Amino acid sequence: MRSRSVGMCIVLSLVTCGLYTLYWLYSLAEDMDHLTGGHSGGSGGMVLLLTIVTCGLYGWYWLYRCGDALDQLRYSQGERAGYLGILYLLLGVFSLGIISYALMQAELNSYADY
């Protein structure tokens, strides 16, 4: 797992008209799968494929699962857990998935190997 610049990911997603967002989704899924030991909803390729095949529905499910997994990880480290799963899901449903990705990337950066 490596740290990624949230701002650069957003800029690249906008400049490439969303193509970089697909790679970013793949990378986020791989990092989440590594961090949670396979309890985040699938590997990068599977998440990307199922999100495309289901026209985004699996992506919403995956956002919820990842938020829930991050909350559980926070709780296990003695931090206060919130409602990241619901936040990520609502942002995704209201077509603000890129914000969910940015928030998730910021959270993952705190666990990244430097």
> pTM of this prediction?
0.91
Is pLDDT at 65 greater than 70 in this prediction? Answer: yes
Number of helices (H), then strands (E), in the chain: 6, 0
Give residue 39's pLDDT: 74
- CA 43 vs. chain centroid, Å, equals 12
Find the length of the chain: 114
> Residue 12 corresponds to which tokens in the numbers above?
């690249």
> Residue 78 corresponds to which tokens in the numbers above?
């003695």
pLDDT by residue (tens digit) across 51-62?
999 999 999 999
Side-chain-side CA neighbours of residue 21 (13 Å)? 19
With bands split at pLDDT 50, 70 and 90, how would you rate the model's confidence at 112? Answer: confident
pLDDT by residue (tens digit) across 66-94?
999 999 999 999 898 889 999 999 999 99
Helix or strand or coil: residue 56?
A: coil
In the chain, where are the structural domains located? Answer: 6-109
Q: Average pLDDT over the chain, rounded to whole?
A: 93
